[in-house]
Chain A
């Protein structure tokens, strides 16, 4: 039987990973809600941000600079993808298939640039070290991720609920025609939402490198988990994304700790159960909040 402090560690790991998943899932939810598309390259964004972040951080010797570079590089890629490609495609299926093509392009270019060995970035000096939990030590960096994730989640909520642009996004999710009808350029909103989602994915990818490394298997691995999160939580709500992220983060962590080979059975079991009883996820498809 595992000790209480071990269990605490497993839970904290789950929550910190859940926070990283939330940054991805929040972007997916925003895109789904307003553009009705799913970006299959979201996991690739995460992976590429990690690679770029590490490269820049090692060159400059500055973690923060690496993080900013990784995040904004992905934001720029998102902007280009939306503005010059997605916007010209007629249907949602075509748009998704376009993002699928991008997955393979990003994968192969990353393979050429960085090779298939995992890369690691030490956390910034302020956040190195660990705190004792029972008899065990817990890295401060992971706690920082949890705090940071909570701040971003709150910031997103403020942004959507309290700002004019947030109101436009929420209105767009409810009724696009009406939003266009009152003279708002919905296409500009699409571009901004897609870029914002890309920025969040980039942020998540860079933040993850000190704990999870950056490697070539991350794209689908992370995308799958992010998909499971939004399926479980409810596809169009940020609240669902948050609850789903924490749940899936913890299930993943518990699974890997107790039966590493069969962790996916646990994940599958939880997802299947939720889908069977609540096909629309825990929160449902309601408005964006």
Chain B
């Protein structure tokens, strides 16, 4: 029950605080929520099946580019149709990439996900006539529902994202606590045993991969509406590395870890970027330090402390 109390307090904070801070900070909060969805989707794979994907940005980019192309090239302004198609495209991409990558495990899985995502990036980069290459595609307006609150307003758009965040959080949480999620953990811990128990482990991992792809795509959709602009960075290794770092800093074995990780990483990035242009260097150093000294992440570390009280379980 205490878990429910945390959720309520958290929700209250997310609802009230943006009313009292400058819109620049609201923007950063909104971005954190988007990256939190992205990191949660990544962690469905990493945390629950133990599969490290170095190409998760592919789905972020797929979602983002689908919306951008529909709006800019197709002139479509129906938000629901756009997001539906974008999620469908992400799922289909997950279907293909998952099929190719999941025939292998461990390091081979990492290599193949990276290679596939990089191909998508190269496509976005080189296919100038469609994607605008590294100049990107500008001119994606925020959705207009004909409501009195315009989403062009930062705070209103923030609440719009918050709705999606809460929904995603709820759905992913339910999935992780369902028999399906438990089976995934079983596969992570001991795949041969799960196979011996009669589970088709490949199919479970495949479905999980597609779920992760869809929510990764959702994050990309929200981000592209926020930026009003898309560039190949969306599906670059930088984005893939960022989400790995978020999950890693937050801790992969606790459901809420990646949310905290997204917050920490994005705040550091925002602060560092406003002072120096060495964000990439800091990112690299941060990664090395975390891996060397705290591979279980912040939440993982706290969870270790709290485990004996039985309040937080991975």
A interface residues (Cβ-Cβ under 8 A, vs B): 32, 36-38, 40, 85, 88-90, 92-94, 96-98, 100-109, 111-112, 220-221, 223-224, 227-228, 230-231, 235, 260-265, 267-268, 271-272, 275-276, 279-280
Contacts and interface: CB of A to CB of B under 8 A. Distances in A.
B287 interface: yes
Contacts, number: 124
Interface of B: 52, 54, 96, 99-100, 103-104, 106-108, 110-112, 114-116, 118-119, 121-123, 126-130, 236-237, 241, 244, 248, 278, 280-281, 283-288, 291-292, 295
A223 B55 CA distance: 13
Nearest to A221: B122
A265 to B, nearest CB: 7
Given A104-B287, A108-B278, A108-B281, A38 B107 contact: yes
Please report whether the interface of chain A is mostly helix, strand, loop or mixed according to DSSP.
helix
A94 B295 contact: yes
Nearest to A94: B291
Interface centre among B130, B244, B281 (most CB of A within 10 A): B281
Contacts of A231: 108, 111-112, 115
Contact of A230 (B104, B111, B122): B111
B119 A264 contact: yes
Nearest to A28: B111
Contacts of A268: 116, 119, 123
Nearest to B124: A264
Please report whether the interface of chain B is mostly helix, strand, loop or mixed according to DSSP.
helix
B281 A105 contact: yes
B122 A108 contact: no
B46 to A, nearest CB: 9
A265 B107 CA distance: 25
B292 A89 contact: yes
Given A97-B248, A261-B129, A275 B118 contact: no
A105 B288 contact: yes
A98 B123 contact: no
B100 A272 contact: yes
Nearest to B123: A264
Given A105-B284, A231-B115, A92 B106 contact: yes
10 contacts: A36-B107, A92-B106, A94-B291, A96-B107, A104-B287, A223-B118, A224-B118, A268-B119, A271-B116, A271-B119
